[in-house]
C-alpha cells in the first residue's frame, strides 16, 4: 500500500503544482474588510485560474505606494472618489477604465455618474463606485446623550474621553463645525490656508481634551467598547459594527452634515491583470456577494438597493443614525485640487508636533 499511497501523493502534488503555475494573480490594493475570505473563496472557486492577493491600505498609502512604483505592483486599487483626479494629474498612476467590461447597470445611477464626473480627465473615466458611507461622530448615548456634532469632540465636559484620527477628515469636519465650508474654498488657496490656520489652532487647543488619536477601525472599536472613549470621530461603518455589540453606541450625523465618501474601483497604470480586475469588479457587484461584502465592511454598496442588502443589524444601526433630513444634508467630498493635500499635511504636522 505504501508505494501506491506515495504515488497518489506525488500525483496530487503535481496536479496542485501545475494549477498554481498556470494561475494568474489578481493583486488588490484595498481597505480592511474589502476582500473578506468568504468572498475571495467564492471568486477563486468560480475562477480557478485566478489567485487573489490582498494588500490592505488607506488613501494616503495607496497613492504613496503607486507613486513610488509608477503605478505598478497592483492590478486593482480602491481609493476614495475624491483622491483620484489630483493623483492622476500629478503622478499618472492610473489607467483609463474600459467601461464596456463593467456591469455599470448594477450601480446606483447618481453615484456612478458622480464618480465618473469626478474622475474624468480628457474624456477618459478612471473610476467607478463600489461602496459608500459617511464620516461623522460616534457617541455612547448613555454617557454622552447630547452629542450633536464635530464641536463636541473638543468639549471640556468630555475631557480625557474623546478621540479622533489625525487625517484630513478631522480638518474638514472641524471647519464645518466652526461655520466654514472647506469645499467652497478649494478654488481659493489663500482662503483655504486661512481656514486651515484657524482649524489648526482649534485642534491644538483641543489636545488637552483628547484621550488619544486612533489609527484604525480596530483601534477605535476597542476604545469605544471598553468605555475609555465615549465620543469620537468615526466612519459610520465602524459605528454600525459596534451598534451590534452595544446599542448605546450610535453614529451621530453632525448637525452641519456628515461627510460622504465613495470608495472606487480604479486600475493602476502598471496593472498586469486587467481581465481579472474586471471579473472581480463584476463579481462583487452581484447581490449575493454585495451582502457578504457589506457584512464585512459595514459600508453600503453602490447599488440601487444597497441599504436593503445590508445585514439586519447594520440596517437597524442605519435607522438609529439617519433620518431623511440627515441624508438630505450629506456633504460629499469634493475633488481635491493639486496642492491642497500638501497644505493639509503641514497643518496635521503642526497639530501633531504641538504640546
pLDDT digits (tens, 9 = 90+) for 203-228: 999 999 999 999 888 899 999 999 99
Assigned C-alpha cell, 218: 480596530
Distances (CA, A) of 291 to 34, 61, 336: 12, 27, 31
Report the DSSP beta bridge partners of residue 140.
249
Higher-confidence residue: 322 or 119?
A: 119
Q: Which of 66-70, 237-241, 291-295, 340-344 ranks highest by mean pLDDT? A: 66-70
Assigned C-alpha cell, 307: 441599504
Residue that is written with C-alpha cell 458611507 in the block: 133
Does residue 32 contact residue 216 with C-beta atoms inside 8 Å?
yes
Task: State the Cα angle at 125 between 99 and 131, rounded to 5°.
Answer: 75
Give me the mean pLDDT over the 7-16 stretch: 37
Q: Is the pLDDT of residue 21 over 60?
A: no
Residue 58 φ/ψ region, left for φ over 0, alpha for ψ in the -120 to 50 degree band, beta for the rest = beta
Residue that is written with C-alpha cell 464626473 in the block: 117
pLDDT above 90 covers a percentage of the chain that reads 75
Does residue 267 contact residue 76 with C-beta atoms inside 8 Å?
yes
Give me the mean pLDDT over the 72-100 stretch: 96
Higher-confidence residue: 253 or 308?
A: 253
The residues near 12 (Cβ < 8 Å, ≥ 6 apart) are none
In this structure, the number of other CB atoms found within 10 A of the CB of residue 179 comes to: 7
User: What pLDDT score was predicted for residue 22?
Assistant: 64
Give me the mean pLDDT over the 178-206 stretch: 96
Query: What value does the mean pLDDT of the chain take?
Result: 91
Pairing mode of beta strands 124-125, 120-121: antiparallel
Length of the chain: 355
Q: Is the dihedral of CA 140, 141, 144, 147 positive or negative?
A: positive
DSSP 158: G
Q: Is the pLDDT of residue 10 over 80?
A: no
Give me the mean pLDDT over the 260-284 stretch: 97
DSSP 266: B
Closest to 78 (Cα-Cα) out of 241, 342, 284? 284
Q: Is the pLDDT of residue 1 over 70?
A: no
Report the alpha-carbon distance of residue 313 to residue 336 in Å, rounded. Answer: 34
Assigned C-alpha cell, 326: 440627515
Greatest Cα pair distance in the chain:
82
Does residue 28 contact residue 55 with C-beta atoms inside 8 Å?
yes
319 band by pLDDT with thresholds 50, 70 and 90:
confident
Report the alpha-carbon distance of residue 152 to residue 142 in Å, rounded. Answer: 15
Residue that is written with C-alpha cell 455599470 in the block: 104
Residue that is written with C-alpha cell 438597493 in the block: 305
Q: Which stretch of 81-95, 124-138, 189-203, 313-327 has the lowest confidence by average pLDDT?
A: 313-327
Assigned C-alpha cell, 324: 431623511
16 band by pLDDT with thresholds 50, 70 and 90:
very low
DSSP 188: -
Q: Which stretch of 38-42, 71-75, 78-82, 314-318 has the lowest confidence by average pLDDT?
A: 314-318
312 band by pLDDT with thresholds 50, 70 and 90:
confident
Q: Is the pLDDT of residue 5 over 60?
A: no
pTM: 0.77
Give me the mean pLDDT over the 147-162 stretch: 97
Give me the mean pLDDT over the 234-260 stretch: 93
pLDDT above 70 covers a percentage of the chain that reads 94
Higher-confidence residue: 316 or 147?
A: 147
Higher-confidence residue: 341 or 67?
A: 67
Amino acid at each position: 500500500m505504501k508505494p501506491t499511497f506515495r504515488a497518489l501523493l506525488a500525483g496530487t502534488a503535481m496536479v496542485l503544482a501545475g494549477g498554481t503555475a498556470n494561475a494568474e494573480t489578481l493583486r488588490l490594493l484595498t481597505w480592511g474588510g474589502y476582500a473578506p475570505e468568504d468572498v475571495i473563496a467564492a471568486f477563486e472557486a468560480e475562477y480557478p485560474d485566478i489567485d487573489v492577493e490582498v494588500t490592505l491600505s488607506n488613501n494616503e498609502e495607496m497613492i504613496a505606494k503607486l507613486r513610488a512604483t509608477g503605478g505598478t505592483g497592483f492590478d486593482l486599487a480602491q481609493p476614495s472618489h475624491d483622491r483620484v483626479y489630483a493623483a492622476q494629474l500629478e503622478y499618472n498612476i492610473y489607467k483609463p477604465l474600459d467601461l464596456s467590461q463593467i456591469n455599470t447597470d448594477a450601480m446606483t445611477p447618481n453615484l456612478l455618474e458622480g464618480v465618473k464626473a469626478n474622475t474624468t480627465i480628457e474624456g477618459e473615466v478612471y473610476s467607478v463606485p463600489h461602496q459608500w458611507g459617511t464620516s461623522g461622530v460616534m457617541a455612547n448615548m448613555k454617557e454622552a446623550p447630547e452629542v450633536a456634532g464635530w464641536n463636541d469632540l473638543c468639549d471640556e465636559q468630555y475631557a480625557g474621553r474623546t478621540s479622533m484620527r489625525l487625517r484630513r477628515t478631522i480638518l474638514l469636519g472641524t471647519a464645518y463645525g466652526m461655520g466654514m465650508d472647506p469645499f467652497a474654498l478649494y478654488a481659493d488657496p489663500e482662503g483655504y490656508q486661512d481656514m486651515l490656520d484657524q482649524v489648526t489652532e482649534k485642534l491644538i487647543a483641543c489636545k488637552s481634551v483628547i484621550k488619544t488619536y486612533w489609527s484604525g477601525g480596530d483601534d477605535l472599536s476597542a476604545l469605544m467598547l471598553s468605555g475609555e472613549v465615549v465620543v469620537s470621530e468615526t466612519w459610520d461603518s465602524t459605528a454600525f459594527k459596534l451598534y451590534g455589540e452595544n446599542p448605546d453606541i450610535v453614529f451621530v450625523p453632525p448637525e452641519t452634515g456628515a461627510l460622504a465618501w465613495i470608495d472606487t474601483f480604479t486600475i493602476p497604470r502598471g496593472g498586469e491583470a486587467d481581465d481579472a480586475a474586471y471579473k472581480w469588479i463584476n463579481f462583487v457587484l452581484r447581490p449575493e456577494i454585495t451582502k457578504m461584502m457589506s457584512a464585512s465592511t459595514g459600508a453600503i454598496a453602490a447599488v440601487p438597493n444597497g441599504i436593503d442588502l445590508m445585514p439586519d443589524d447594520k440596517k437597524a444601526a442605519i435607522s438609529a443614525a439617519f433620518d431623511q433630513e440627515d441624508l438630505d444634508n450629506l456633504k460629499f467630498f469634493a475633488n481635491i485640487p493639486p496642492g491642497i493635500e500638501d497644505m493639509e499635511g503641514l497643518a496635521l504636522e503642526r497639530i501633531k508636533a504641538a504640546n
